[in-house]
Structure 1
Amino acid sequence: MTPEQFHEQIWKALKPINKEEFHAVASVPPTAEAVSFIETSTGIKIPEEFATFSMKTNGLCIMAKESVWPEAKLFDVAPAWTFHCGVVLLGIDTDDLPEWASILEAYKQLVERFEITDVLPLLTIYGDSNHVWGVRKDGAFVEVYDDEITVLDKEFTDVYSEEIEALMQRLNDMKKRVAARQK
Structure 2
Amino acid sequence: MSIEKIYDYFRSYDKETYQVFACGDDTPSEQDIEAFESEFNIKLPEDFKEFTMSPLGGLYMEVREEIWPMAQEYEVAPFWEFCRGIMVYGISSEVPEYLDLRANTRAFHESGLSDCIPFFSVIGDGEQIFCFDREGKIVVFDGYEMHDVEGDFESFLLGQIAELEERKDKKVEKLKNRAGR
Aligned-pair distance for 1:139?
A: 2.7
**In the TM superposition, what are the counterparts of 1:20-169 in structure 2 within 5 Å?**
20-27=16-23, 28-32=26-30, 34-57=32-55, 58-95=57-94, 97-113=95-111, 115-169=112-166
SS in 2 for 1:29: coil
| Structure 1 residue ranges without an equivalent (≥5) | none
Amino acid at match of 2:53: M
How big is each residue's C-alpha offset from its partner over 1:41-73, in whole Å with a ceiling of 9 and x where there is no partner?
Answer: 322222233223222222112211111011222
Would you say the 8 A contact 1:62–1:87 is kept in 2? yes
- Bigger strand share: 1
Amino acid at match of 1:107: T
Would you say the 8 A contact 2:20–2:60 is kept in 1? yes
Q: TM-score, normalised by structure 1?
A: 0.81
Would you say the 8 A contact 2:33–2:91 is kept in 1? yes
Size of the alignment, in residue pairs?
177
Q: TM-score, normalised by structure 2?
A: 0.82
Amino acid at match of 1:30: P
How big is each residue's C-alpha offset from its partner over 1:59-111, in whole Å with a ceiling of 9 and x where there is no partner?
Answer: 1122111110112223333222112111222111423x222222223323433
Q: Work out the percentage of aligned pairs sharing the same amino acid.
A: 24
Distance 1:41 1:160 in 2: 25
Change (3 A) 1:32 1:14: closer
Amino acid at match of 1:77: V
Amino acid at match of 1:159: F
Distance 1:112 1:129 in 2: 17
Would you say the 8 A contact 1:59–1:90 is kept in 2? yes
* 1:18 match: 14
